[in-house]
Structure 1
Amino acid sequence: MTASREVGFRLDPVLVGRAAAVESLDAAVATVRAGRSVAVEVCGEAGLGKTRILRELARRAADAGLLVRTGRATQYEQGVPFGLFAEMVEAADGGPDDAASSVPAAVRRMLTRTPAPGAALLLDDVHWADSASLELTEHLLGSPPPVPVLLAVAFRSACPPARLVNAIARLGPAATLIDLPPLDAASLDVLLVGVPRRRRELILRASLGNPLYIKALSRLDDDELDSLARLAHRHDPVDADRLAGSRRSVLAGLAAEITAQQPPVQRVAHIAAVVGDHTTIDLVRHVAGLPMSMVTAAVDQLGRLGLLDADGGRLRYRHPLMRAAAYAR
């Protein structure tokens, strides 16, 4: 078996291959500096670098003199009104009054008091946002404050917040859309300088160009990469026992998002991985011994996480490495 050679990334794995996205960020910042508000929509699958793109936007906006405020939704606070804006309101003026109804006023007050050239509101993981946060974001898009504002939202393409997508679409040229694709071979040639070509090709094929998986896969040896590369382009069963035995720490890291879920979601994820691609919800329910309502809720959650595709009642992991991680846990 070929020894593994973990890749030492010489460049940011997310910004490599993102020249067009960075140009869009610069154009959005320039628009605000010119006195006009603009919206930026960043979408893509889990691991493609949406959060890193927002961090880059924050850096460039701050360098341009904009007031930068950030917010991030989490799946565990979907029942907390205005959770997406809580941190930025607290940072602005020590927090709003006790009533949640004061948050919209606090956000608008913060923006209205922003000095020239304007502000940048960067909202991450809005696919997890509570309904009140989505409503406030939609309002800010449709009725921006008198000062120029760059309002950026990032979400997983598997679960776009329809009301925000529609609100941004209505802005026409005042909106910038960044749909992050997987990295291509040319990007990996830049990113993995010094890595033999065959190994670069294996990493690309096995990762499907996802930066998150590229870094994890760099810890696997060539034989394991070759196995995953073949599996990534078919839907055969994953040799998870072999992978788990030799690289359990890699799989455990990738499975962290699954292990953070409630037990029924973890159980459904594991069963779907064991039974195999294109299994049915009915079969998973039978094996799990759970009510159908609980199974469908778990499948919906795994879909929102970007792990499972459900098509006509059949389930398939979106990446064989995640299936191996769910199998091995």
Structure 2
Amino acid sequence: MRELAKVQGCLDRARGGLGAVLVVSGEAGIGKSRLLREAARHASDSGFAVHVGAAEQMTQTRPFGPWLDALEITPSSRDEDLRSVAVLLRAAILASAGELGSATHVVIEDLVDLVERLAAEVPRMIVIEDLQWADDATVLTARAVARSAAHLRVLLVVSHRTGGLPAIGRRLRRELLDLDVATDLPLAELDHAAAQGLAEELAGDAMWPAVHPQVEAARGNPLLIELLVAAGGRSGEGDLRCALREHVRDRTWALGDDGIRTLQYAALLGQRFSPDLLAEVLGRPPVEVASALQRAIEQQLLISSGHDLAFRHDLIRDTLGEELPQAVRASMHATIGRTLARTGARSPEIARHAALGAPRGDREALELLRRAAVEYRRLAPAVTVDLLTRAESLADERLPDQVELELLWALAATGRTGSCIERAERRLQDQPQPATAAAVHACLGLIRQRTNDLDGARTEFDTAVALAAEAGQIPAAYLADAAST
């Protein structure tokens, strides 16, 4: 298999201490996860320690999440270096001390040092899946580790969906592929002969006559070919997504009401989830939940993923979520939010579920989102933007001035210049109080300064100073405080 041959070449290079980076891309269902599982088995058989972390669409508010999962970094880790990184990250989040982004860079440096130390012990294969959903800190860490890989016994693998990368992810992809140690591995649709061969192998002699005429409808996508065979060839052109839904329904109905409810809550927790946390959410003994999850594994809906479980494919998880009425889904998110709060989870995770389970105008959810946004504003301003945007969608009226200002500074910090200027100018049209207007002009001044519009920046800063004085604030101290927000 051509793909595994490329993986083996990267493993050989990494084992020799030359380092390697592998970038795997392809559409949903094309076989990225399957290839990575096979690659992990090859690596493990070759004496590599394998570490896997995955970004998830619903947990982008967790800075460094895939790296923490991959390297099993927690405050209770037995390894002193792992514990120190976890403690540093938590302290940075709680204190939000220093200049904007400085805490992020300290954590990244510690993670690179940790990878170097681990690679000195045994060769390492580190997999970061679904880069299209990764937070900025995860992307920056991948770049830093890749740049250090040339002299390490490390194979860094990142995967992403074709066409789904945000701007920072596209930059990372370009930078990675510019490295001498990098290999690009795009997964294309199967050609006609390969698709027919896979379908025939899966169908067997008895089912092949029914499946054969419909293979073209799968358009070379291995997962859809598998579903077509599972449906006995009954799906026509354009109906394979419906076949997927029917396939998931059939397999979940086999689990009974208890199993369906278990998987629905798991789907809302994420593509990858902790069985223990799921048991907490359901309010049931872990052994009972484990029984339902084992049946789901037997139905090929779930797979093992380190200490956690994961849906076999995100299309399966999406289908389970789509089956839920909006009111039911909101109630389930609220239950998850309360459970996370009780178990001491991070504020953004609590806030996200609370917001998804809250009705419009829910002040408690709005306050949770605001507090979580402030907690992360220096370490991960992109998280702050996401949380405050969610807050805005819940608000009955315009965001309070302080929350609006926090969103402006976060937009500026993440380089979203156009959105920041548009929002700032719209706020000034409402003729806010002098103190608020001063902060908005100061933010615009920094934006114009960064874009080399020095005359415009000077005008904005002069206006901010005048308005700050009018509001009874000391201009210099005011601007320093505003710039550090």
Measured against the shorter chain, the TM-score band is 0.5 to 0.7
Matches within 5 A, 1:117-156: 118-144=123-149, 146-156=151-161
Which of 102, 108, 112 is the aligned partner of 2:112?
108
What is the deviation of 1:246?
A: 8.2
Residues 232, 171 of structure 1: alpha-carbon distance in 2 compared, 3 angstrom cutoff? farther
CA contact (8 A) 1:89 1:107 kept: no
Aligned pairs for 1:202-213 within 5 A: 202-213=213-224
| Structure 1 pair 107–244 and aligned structure 2 pair: CA distance change class (3 A) | closer
Against the structure 1 CA distance between its residues 83 and 248, is the aligned structure 2 distance closer, same or farther, given a 3 Å change threshold? closer
* Contact persistence 2:131–2:158 (CA under 8 A): yes
The alignment status of 1:164 with 2:152, answered yes or no, reads no
Which one-letter code corresponds to 1:156 in the other structure? R
Contact 1:205 1:232 in 2 (8 A): no
Judged with a 3 Å threshold, the aligned counterparts in structure 2 of structure 1 residues 89 and 219 are, in CA distance, closer, same or farther, namely closer
Distance in 2 between residues matched to 1:60 and 1:122, nearest whole Å: 13
Q: Partner amino acid for 1:180?
A: L
Note if contact 1:44-1:157 (Cα within 8 Å) is conserved in structure 2.
yes
1:89-142 deviation digits (Å, cap 9, x = unpaired):
335735421235464244223322223652211111111100111011112222
Question: Whole-Å Cα distance in 2 between the matches of residues 191 and 163 of structure 1?
Answer: 39
Matched, 1:175 2:167: no
CA distance 1:244–1:171, shift in 2 (3 Å): closer
Given that 1:89 and 1:106 are in contact with CA atoms closer than 8 Å, whether structure 2 keeps it comes out as: no
Q: 1:219 to 1:120 in 2, by over 3 A?
A: closer
Partner of residue 214, structure 1: 225
Letter of the 1:164 partner, please give it: L
Distance between the aligned counterparts of 2:148 and 2:128, measured in 1? 17
Structure with a larger share of its residues in helix: 2
2-side partners of 1:181 and 1:198: how far apart? 26
CA distance in 2, matches of 1:203, 1:116: 51
Matched residue SS, 2:71: helix
For 1:187, give the aligned amino acid: L
Where in structure 2 are there 5+ consecutive unaligned residues?
93-102, 253-300, 302-314, 330-388, 394-485
Distance (Å, rounded) in 2 between the aligned partners of 1:111 and 1:248: 39
Which of the pair is proportionally richer in strand? 1
Shift, 1:191, TM fit: 4.0
Aligned residue type for 1:107? L
**Aligned in 2, Cα 1:193/1:146: closer, same or farther, shift over 3 Å?**
same
Is 1:59 aligned to 2:59, yes or no? no
Residue 49 (structure 1) aligned to one of 6, 12, 31 = 31
Structure showing greater radius of gyration is: 2
Deviation track 1:278-322 (CA, whole Å, cap 9, x = no partner) reads xxxxxxxxxxxxxxx99xx9xxxxxxxxxxxxxxxxxxxxxxxxx
Whether the 8 Å contact between 2:28 and 2:161 is mirrored in structure 1 is: yes
> Which ranges in structure 1 are unaligned for 5 or more consecutive residues?
1-18, 267-292, 298-329
Q: Is the 8 A contact 1:244 1:251 kept in 2?
A: no
Shift of 1:187: 3.4
CA distance in 1, matches of 2:6, 2:244: 41
Q: TM-score, normalised by structure 2?
A: 0.43
Q: Which amino acid in the other structure matches residue 38 of structure 2?
A: E
Describe how 1:33-48 pairs up with structure 2 within 5 A.
Answer: 33-48=15-30
Deviates more, 1:179-188 or 1:129-138: 179-188
2:18 aligns to what SS in structure 1?
Answer: coil
8 Å Cα contact 1:112/1:146 also seen in 2: no
Q: Identity over aligned residues, as a percent?
A: 25
Counterpart of 2:184 in 1: which secondary structure? Answer: strand
Cross-structure match for 2:210: 199
Compare relative contact order (CA 8 Å, sep 6+) and give the higher one, 1 or 2.
1
TM-score by length of 1: 0.61
